[in-house]
Amino acid sequence: MALCRRWLLLRESNLLLMLPLGQKSFSQTVGSQLYAAAKITTLQINLGLVCNLACRHCHVESSPTRTGNSENMSEETADSIITWLVKADDIETVDLTGGSPEMNPNFRRIVSEARKLGKHVIDRCNPTILVHQTEQNQPFDWVPRFLADHEVQVVASLPCYLEENVRKQRGVHAYPDSIDGIRMLNQVGYGIKDELPLTLVYNPGGAHLPPQQESLETDYRRELRERWELEFTNLITITNMPIKRWRADLERQDKLAEYMQLLVESYNPQTIEGLMCRHQIHVDSQGRLHDCDFNYALNMRTPEQENSYLWDVTLSELNERPISTGSHCFGCTAGSGSSCGGSLA
């Protein structure tokens, strides 16, 4: 692929992004303002940025040092979100993310209350946390049984089935700890029982798009069975966003321009209907509204709700709302597409 040598610099929400000179913006490429669906069915909650890892591809720059009150959910905010959720009948799924969401002291209560309301709950779990202890020697080996008891769907990050690739992205101990964590999930029935689905997540290790999701799942299943006797339900692939740590990594390698051109040239209009931002509302650890976790990372608030918190609005006000977009959105629409649920087309 010949790389265009002239670039247009666009400043979007305090982030300098690059597009080939003459290239249309994302909204111009789509051809119109992007709007949410007529019925929002998912509430995605980012409980905070504290995590036991500091991964190279992390779009919110989570780490063990992100422990401040301004970056992690308080009991008061959790109470307000639960109260809002009681009235949100159309919300079918509560999607919990972070950081490592299990590290927030409100995690168990949110899960329990959401399940009492009949909501499907997803835990976006970093499996190394299951064998990890904090500096205060707080263990997290309770997580698998707690999740199983509440029939929570686990979406667990395992960016590759090969140790070398995981080590490059997540650190020296990440692969063996991930294998041990997935084994703990298997032991309580995850990936084995129908009511306990275990979804694994692949992230590319370089400046390229994910491979075809179905064929990669076949490789994962074969390798994890043969190497470790592990089981899982399905695999999803997620494209790395050119923001925060991954953007900095691309800049260090002098590959940011090449990667942005790849995303732009791989735009697929068939992905638009299934974009996660069109079917969910995202709330951060302080209760502020965003269209997705990527927009949250860029401090791009939901249009027309820039000064609102979740409890200030009704669900009906969020249906068919305009969505904030930028050049990073080419990441979700490139190739087969990418969302919290994997490929789109």
Average pLDDT in the chain? 91
- Per residue in 201-256, pLDDT (tens digit) is 999 988 999 999 999 999 999 999 999 999 999 999 999 999 999 899 999 999 99
Which domains occur in the chain, in start order? 36-331 (3.20.20.70)
Burial (CB count <10 Å: 0-12, 13-18, 19+), residue 215: exposed
Contacts of 51 (CB under 8 A, 6+ apart): 58, 62, 63, 64, 66, 98, 99, 100, 103, 126, 129
Where does the pLDDT of residue 57 fall: very low under 50, low under 70, confident under 90, or very high at 90 and above?
A: confident
Query: pLDDT: is 254 or 171 the higher one?
Result: 254
Dihedral (Cα; 51, 53, 59, 60), 10-degree rounding: 30
Q: Which residues of 35-74 are buried (b: 16+ CB within 10 A; e: fewer)?
A: ebeeebebbbbbbbbbbbbebbbbbbbbbbebeeeebbbb
Tell me what percent of the chain is helix, strand and coil, each rounded to the nearest 5: 35, 20, 45
Q: What is the pLDDT of residue 137?
A: 56
Query: Which one, of 132, 80, 137, 140, lies nearest residue 104 by Cα?
Result: 140
pLDDT at 7: 38
Q: Rounded distance, CA 257 to CA 267, Å?
A: 16
Q: Which whole number is the average pLDDT over 146-156? A: 98
pLDDT in tens, 287-326: 999 999 999 999 999 999 999 999 999 999 999 999 999 9
pLDDT-based confidence at residue 4 (cuts at 50, 70, 90):
very low
pLDDT average, residue stretch 138-158: 95
Gyration radius of the chain over CA positions: 19
244: left (phi over 0), alpha (psi -120 to 50) or beta: left
Q: What per-residue confidence (pLDDT) applies to 5?
A: 34
